[in-house]
A and B are shown apart, each in its own frame.
Chain A
Amino acid sequence: MGTAQYILIQKISLLLITLFPLVSAATTCDTIPLKVNGNWTDKNIRHSEHTILFEDTLGIVHHISLMVDNDNIPELFTSHIETPVCSDSLCNLMNIRIYWTLSGNYLGFDTIPGKPLTKNDHLNFNGEDFQQLHRLLCDEQSILRRRHKDDLFDKEATRVSQVVDAVTGATSKEVKEVTVDGAVYSSYTIYHLVHSQLSGVIKRYVTDSLLTLLDKRLSTSDRVDERIFFWQQIPAARFPQYQKEITETIEMASPKDRLFVMKKTPGEMWANPDFIVRIAGIGEQLDVYSLSHFLSQLKSTPTIPAACLSLLGNQMKSFSQNQLNTYLSLIEKTPASLQHKTLLEILQNAEADTQYKYRTIIGAFLKNHR
């Protein structure tokens, strides 16, 4: 890599580190700065002896290596990808280093010294292009996922250029929005490699060869995708061993993953007062999907502790009408809870609060149960 280019990359890295506050020191491979990554580690890491060899649909063999920290604990996977990017008639080689988490999720990318990422007419990627590529790779559900390569461009207008990404018609509007300007085929090719083929290989490798060793590492990970991956792999019957980690995951996860974990959590845990009080305690962080799930789950909990109902009661004003109805039915099925001073006060205050939209519902409830 030439010095000028190196300095440029350093600058871009700095810029990106500022833009992505979660990024800590980019310490991958000594001098090579990590271009962008969403959740980088500040631990020292190195290549381990574990390498996965994988032949993709084009017949290219990829070497994916596991990186470990000083204590030999697996940290991530990485691969230097060299792949042809082809249009109908032209091919160009693309070199890029990709990092994946232990669950096979995209973590970040880097350039390869001396082999910059290029777009139309040999222009190098600039800072915005790096960010755009990162955004694209971070989006698991990008529209590229379901696009066929032939549908990336509007077929009519054709413009000619020397390099692959310019050889066809205008990029369709939605594709343009998510890909790197002037590097549509590169974006497409790398997206599919990263997300479909290689990600699947890593997942399989971890499941088949590492899972039993990574119990602690995955269940307590700072990366939510690794935790979710772990909960996906183990049977629900083992969940009770991980009560604390599961509660933490529920706090950390996206609505989709949160709902997944809560649905998989077995009935025995929903009957455990400690667990439900904990979940009620983080109720404010729950989204509509998981809060509704939690409330309906409690319907089959034999005895709901008054503390759980009080904690939920504190959030009552943000409940939807259905959630409120379910909540009141939970109180109803636990009549003793109405003797609980805190809970009663919460209900009485809600009834008295003229700003509260469902105060009449609470009023009617209290009247029925006086």
Chain B
Amino acid sequence: MVTYMKKMRLLFTLLIALLTQVTNAQNLLIEAESFEEKGGWLVDPQFVQQMGSPYLLAHGLGEPVENAYTRVNFPETGKYHLWVRTKNWVPGNWTPPGRFQLRIQDELLPVVYGKEPVWSWEYGGEVTVSNKSQKIELVDLTGFAGRCDAIYFDKKKQSPPSDVEALNKWRLKVAKRPADPEKTVQFDYVVVGGGIAGCASAIAAAEQGLKVALIHDRPVLGGNASSEIRVHTLGIYGHFERILRMLDTKHYPNGSPEAYAEDKKRHRNIERYKNIHIFLNWRANGANTTENTIQSVDAANTITGERLRFKAPYFADCTGDGWIGFWAGAAYMYGRESADQFNESWPEFGELWSPEVADNAVMGASVLWRTYSDNYDHQFPDVPWAMEVAGSYAARGGEWQWEYSNTDVHQIDDAEQIRDHMFRAIYGSFANVKKQPNTNKLKLEWVSYLVGKRESRRLVGDHIFTFNDARNLTQFPDSVVMERREVDVHYQENLVDANRPDFLSKAMFYKTGKYIIPYRSLYSKNISNLFMAGRCFSASHIGLGGPRVMLTTGQMGAAVGFAASVCFKHKVQPRDVYQKYLKEYMELIEKQKSYQKP
């Protein structure tokens, strides 16, 4: 396997030094995510499409994190105006929780950042730079999710744009970069999103000899199953037990640190494939499409900002959010279809299951968390900014039921708000527990900072998998994925009882036999060379309820990986596999049960 990150480390180190600071004669832009040393700050690229950039997050669970620092070269000495792009993530009548300061060389600047309720350039006043070379540090004051996107110095008092689109253009201009990535790389098959679906897809295609790029925006593979989110894999293996056993997890409780061992297993297994080129910490940000065919996908490194254009004849959208399809103009669905649209009503749960009139409600996102009992006493600070959400609810940990969704928030556009809402629920509920007797030794062990999503965009394929396919056990000639798991759909508790916290959900289960997902649900109906696998496959809201779990989505990944190899061999498009090469494809799928890797 060629891990680009490893091979190009030297080059990157040089690049980081270059990119950390973008200077012109009059100004200097420093991207926080490219700081040389991050200290306790974490790179958070989840919301790039909404707020414009990866940023640094002080995720200290209530204890200020270690400073992040970098060295910069100012174009010249003298006086500069200073701006920091940040946000007060919980505006209200309290001191903002995510506060931090800057230290330049050894001087702590007095201005405290994290005050404005939206992402904006907060003005830091005038600073005098006496030496061109300076060390800049981020000094976290709270440990409660302070965030810094970038720091900007300018001789003129002219703040950078705040509108995201204008800001993106401005960034390119300041960095003197062209609009398109400078470098293009060519593959046979590009998989975007390294969850279980993406990993399985890369393996299947690689085993058939394709040169595969696996683009993933995190440092570890596995998506929701990774140690960063820690959901265990459920479902059955179908035809692909051999591949999926390389990627799955044991059945530990969600949130368990046992997930680290599974990360290692997953990486060890996938790194054995020499023809899978893994791009960790690379986030795709566009799909260049002509005449309904994707020509290339653009991606940027979430730390260095370096950009690449990935060319290939076939692409797989395994991002969960259907990003590649969205950028390419693929048809997609979001929200709950009306009960009549696919005839999915179930009187047992009525409106909660499938509404009479369609709406934009979907299953929500979760942030899992854990506590432990230490040998020592631990204080937990007051968190007045969390109580509006937590109320009097007290808890020592959060499992899958900690879920947030409503008609006010969109699971993609408002993902940062959703994550932050869950932070308030978690810190507030934990503060409430700490007020109870015999909790002095209780301490937060881990709070994820990634939004664990269940449902967002679903790309539309030639077949839309619905509740009826599951309950009627519909048989298909292109039966490549199978599942036995109940159709399980969630609703927010406060929909039924307004007094319940808004961050808890309940599940509704419909028991079924073994149902089949056809291949035709795994490629786009209108983008000719786009496959999709994972929770963004072609399904109705209720249809997604059963097969959204990760062994099933892994089966989808493997199925499209093999399909890509058939496409590649015959130089045809995904739909042709169903129409012209189904026999060959199904034989290849069937063979997987007994297939021994050469």
Having A146-B509, A254-B497, A260-B351, one finds 13 other A-B pairs with CB under 8 Å, namely A140-B496, A141-B496, A141-B506, A256-B495, A256-B496, A263-B359, A289-B407, A293-B407, A321-B117, A323-B408, A355-B93, A357-B91, A360-B116
Mark B residues whose CB is within 8 Å of A.
91-93, 116-118, 347-349, 351-352, 355-357, 359, 361, 406-409, 414, 417, 491, 494-498, 502, 506, 508-509
Interface residue A264 (Cβ < 8 Å from any Cβ of B): yes
Complex contact A260–B406 (CB within 8 A): no
Specify the chain B residue showing the minimal Cβ separation from A228.
B351
Complex contact B406–A288 (CB within 8 A): yes
Mark A residues whose CB is within 8 Å of B.
140-141, 145-146, 196, 200, 232, 254-257, 259-260, 263-264, 287-293, 320-323, 355, 357-358, 360-361
Complex contact A255–B498 (CB within 8 A): yes
Specify the chain A residue showing the minimal Cβ separation from B421.
A320
Chain B residues near A293 (CB, 8 Å)?
359, 407
Complex contact A264–B357 (CB within 8 A): yes
User: Shortest CB–CB separation between residue A200 and chain B, in angstroms?
Assistant: 7
Complex contact B495–A322 (CB within 8 A): no
Chain B residues near A257 (CB, 8 Å)?
351
Specify the chain A residue showing the minimal Cβ separation from B357.
A263
Chain A residues near B494 (CB, 8 Å)?
255, 287
Complex contact A196–B117 (CB within 8 A): no
Chain A residues near B495 (CB, 8 Å)?
254-256, 259, 289
Chain A residues near B502 (CB, 8 Å)?
288
Instruction: Give the CA-CA distance A196 to B414 in the complex, in Å.
Output: 38
Chain B residues near A196 (CB, 8 Å)?
348
Specify the chain B residue showing the minimal Cβ separation from A263.
B357
Instruction: Give the CA-CA distance A256 to B495 in the complex, in Å.
Output: 5
Complex contact A288–B116 (CB within 8 A): no
Complex contact A322–B117 (CB within 8 A): no
User: Shortest CB–CB separation between residue B477 and chain A, in angstroms?
Assistant: 33
Closest CB pairs A-B (n = 8): A357-B91, A263-B357, A292-B408, A256-B495, A292-B407, A289-B407, A146-B509, A255-B495
Chain A residues near B496 (CB, 8 Å)?
140-141, 254-256
Specify the chain B residue showing the minimal Cβ separation from A295.
B408
Say which residue of A145, A256, A291, A323 sits within 8 Å of B348 (CB atoms): A145
Instruction: Give the CA-CA distance A304 to B386 in the complex, in Å.
Output: 36
Chain B residues near A355 (CB, 8 Å)?
93
7 pairs across A/B with beta carbons < 8 Å?
A254-B497, A287-B494, A289-B407, A290-B407, A357-B92, A360-B117, A360-B118
Do most interface residues of chain A lie in helix, strand or loop, or is the interface mixed? helix
User: Shortest CB–CB separation between residue B356 and chain A, in angstroms?
Assistant: 6
Chain B residues near A322 (CB, 8 Å)?
408-409, 414, 417
Complex contact A361–B355 (CB within 8 A): no
Complex contact A320–B117 (CB within 8 A): no
Complex contact A288–B408 (CB within 8 A): yes
Specify the chain B residue showing the minimal Cβ separation from A287.
B498
User: Shortest CB–CB separation between residue B418 and chain A, in angstroms?
Assistant: 11
Complex contact B407–A259 (CB within 8 A): yes
Complex contact B117–A289 (CB within 8 A): no
Chain B residues near A200 (CB, 8 Å)?
347
Instruction: Give the CA-CA distance A260 to B496 in the complex, in Å.
Output: 12
Complex contact A357–B117 (CB within 8 A): yes
Chain B residues near A141 (CB, 8 Å)?
349, 352, 496, 506, 508
Chain A residues near B408 (CB, 8 Å)?
288-289, 291-292, 320, 322-323
Specify the chain B residue showing the minimal Cβ separation from A264.
B357
Say which residue of B359, B497, B506 sits within 8 Å of A259 (CB atoms): B359
User: Shortest CB–CB separation between residue A195 and chain B, in angstroms?
Assistant: 9
Chain A residues near B491 (CB, 8 Å)?
256
Complex contact A288–B407 (CB within 8 A): yes
Complex contact B406–A289 (CB within 8 A): yes
Chain B residues near A291 (CB, 8 Å)?
408
Specify the chain A residue showing the minimal Cβ separation from B493.
A141
Say which residue of A263, A292, A357 sits within 8 Å of B406 (CB atoms): A292
Instruction: Give the CA-CA distance A356 to B546 in the complex, in Å.
Output: 44
User: Shortest CB–CB separation between residue B489 and chain A, in angstroms?
Assistant: 12
Chain B residues near A289 (CB, 8 Å)?
361, 406-408, 495
User: Shortest CB–CB separation between residue A2 and chain B, in angstroms?
Assistant: 39
Instruction: Give the CA-CA distance A256 to B92 in the complex, in Å.
Output: 28
Chain B residues near A357 (CB, 8 Å)?
91-93, 117
Specify the chain A residue showing the minimal Cβ separation from B118.
A361
Specify the chain B residue showing the minimal Cβ separation from A265.
B357
User: Shortest CB–CB separation between residue B405 and chain A, in angstroms?
Assistant: 10
Instruction: Give the CA-CA distance A253 to B384 in the complex, in Å.
Output: 31
Chain A residues near B117 (CB, 8 Å)?
321, 357-358, 360-361
Chain B residues near A254 (CB, 8 Å)?
495-498
Instruction: Give the CA-CA distance A320 to B496 in the complex, in Å.
Output: 21
Say which residue of B92, B355, B508 sits within 8 Å of A146 (CB atoms): B508
Specify the chain A residue showing the minimal Cβ separation from B509.
A146
Instruction: Give the CA-CA distance A196 to B408 in the complex, in Å.
Output: 33
User: Shortest CB–CB separation between residue B393 and chain A, in angstroms?
Assistant: 17
Chain B residues near A287 (CB, 8 Å)?
494, 498
Instruction: Give the CA-CA distance A322 to B52 in the complex, in Å.
Output: 18
Chain B residues near A264 (CB, 8 Å)?
356-357
User: Shortest CB–CB separation between residue B126 and chain A, in angstroms?
Assistant: 22
Complex contact A260–B116 (CB within 8 A): no
Instruction: Give the CA-CA distance A256 to B91 in the complex, in Å.
Output: 29
Instruction: Give the CA-CA distance A264 to B357 in the complex, in Å.
Output: 6
Specify the chain A residue showing the minimal Cβ separation from B508.
A146
Chain A residues near B118 (CB, 8 Å)?
321, 360-361
User: Shortest CB–CB separation between residue B572 and chain A, in angstroms?
Assistant: 43
Instruction: Give the CA-CA distance A291 to B407 in the complex, in Å.
Output: 9
Complex contact A256–B352 (CB within 8 A): yes
Complex contact B409–A256 (CB within 8 A): no
Q: A287-B498, A360-B117 are in contact. Are A232 and B356 (CB under 8 A)?
A: yes
Instruction: Give the CA-CA distance A255 to B417 in the complex, in Å.
Output: 21
Specify the chain B residue showing the minimal Cβ separation from A145.
B348
Instruction: Give the CA-CA distance A293 to B117 in the complex, in Å.
Output: 24
Chain A residues near B508 (CB, 8 Å)?
141, 146
User: Shortest CB–CB separation between residue B502 and chain A, in angstroms?
Assistant: 7
Complex contact A263–B355 (CB within 8 A): yes
Instruction: Give the CA-CA distance A165 to B554 in the complex, in Å.
Output: 44
Instruction: Give the CA-CA distance A19 to B543 in the complex, in Å.
Output: 43
User: Shortest CB–CB separation between residue A193 and chain B, in angstroms?
Assistant: 15
Chain B residues near A320 (CB, 8 Å)?
408
Instruction: Give the CA-CA distance A259 to B491 in the complex, in Å.
Output: 13
User: Shortest CB–CB separation between residue B245 and chain A, in angstroms?
Assistant: 29
User: Shortest CB–CB separation between residue A165 and chain B, in angstroms?
Assistant: 25
Q: A288-B406, A358-B91 are in contact. Are A260 and B348 (CB under 8 A)?
A: no
Instruction: Give the CA-CA distance A292 to B414 in the complex, in Å.
Output: 14
Say which residue of A140, A145, A255, A260 sits within 8 Å of B355 (CB atoms): A260
Chain A residues near B355 (CB, 8 Å)?
260, 263
Complex contact B351–A256 (CB within 8 A): yes
Instruction: Give the CA-CA distance A42 to B219 in the complex, in Å.
Output: 67
User: Shortest CB–CB separation between residue A177 and chain B, in angstroms?
Assistant: 14
User: Shortest CB–CB separation between residue B512 and chain A, in angstroms?
Assistant: 13
Specify the chain B residue showing the minimal Cβ separation from A296.
B407
Instruction: Give the CA-CA distance A290 to B361 in the complex, in Å.
Output: 12
Instruction: Give the CA-CA distance A140 to B414 in the complex, in Å.
Output: 31
Chain A residues near B351 (CB, 8 Å)?
256-257, 260
Chain A residues near B352 (CB, 8 Å)?
141, 256
Chain B residues near A292 (CB, 8 Å)?
406-408
User: Shortest CB–CB separation between residue A87 and chain B, in angstroms?
Assistant: 22
Specify the chain B residue showing the minimal Cβ separation from A257.
B351
Instruction: Give the CA-CA distance A322 to B415 in the complex, in Å.
Output: 13
Instruction: Give the CA-CA distance A203 to B506 in the complex, in Å.
Output: 25
Chain A residues near B414 (CB, 8 Å)?
322
User: Shortest CB–CB separation between residue B364 and chain A, in angstroms?
Assistant: 13
Instruction: Give the CA-CA distance A188 to B356 in the complex, in Å.
Output: 29
